[in-house]
A = this chain, B = another copy of it.
Amino acid sequence: MGDLDELMRHLRAFVAERDWGQFHDPKNLAMLLASETGELVAEYRWMRGDESDARSRQPDVRARVAAEVGDVGLALLMLCDRIGLDPIAAMREKLRANAQKYPADEFRGRADRLR
């Protein structure tokens, strides 16, 4: 995959050039994330789950989903940058916690007990 550090530099420059840091406190960025996530969810709301893989490959759907994934990802990165959190480290840590919380032997093939 691409270079996250380079993207982060471009994202910071984009925000700085527009003097938008004043609007980007963590609370507002959490709301941005929620609204962008809502738009991504909208792409899948009327689609059956078992057709959502194939539909995600259709060029028009794919382009819209990619745009929404971009928005969600950028919002998450801006929040992480604002509060000085390394997103990769946060994900790695959470994955480790989940591996302990959901032992493979106990949760294999089961989603019903996930809370």
Contact = CB atoms under 8 A, between A and B. Distances in A.
Contacts of A92: 2, 7, 10, 70
A83 B109 contact: no
A77 to B, nearest CB: 7
A107 B18 contact: yes
A34 B45 CA distance: 9
20 contacts: A1-B8, A14-B95, A14-B98, A18-B108, A20-B107, A27-B48, A28-B49, A33-B72, A34-B37, A34-B41, A46-B114, A57-B83, A65-B85, A66-B90, A69-B76, A69-B79, A70-B92, A70-B94, A72-B76, A73-B91
Interface of A: 1-5, 7-8, 10-11, 14, 17-20, 22-23, 25-28, 30-50, 52-53, 55-57, 62, 65-67, 69-74, 76-77, 79-80, 82-95, 97-99, 102, 104, 107-109, 111-112, 114
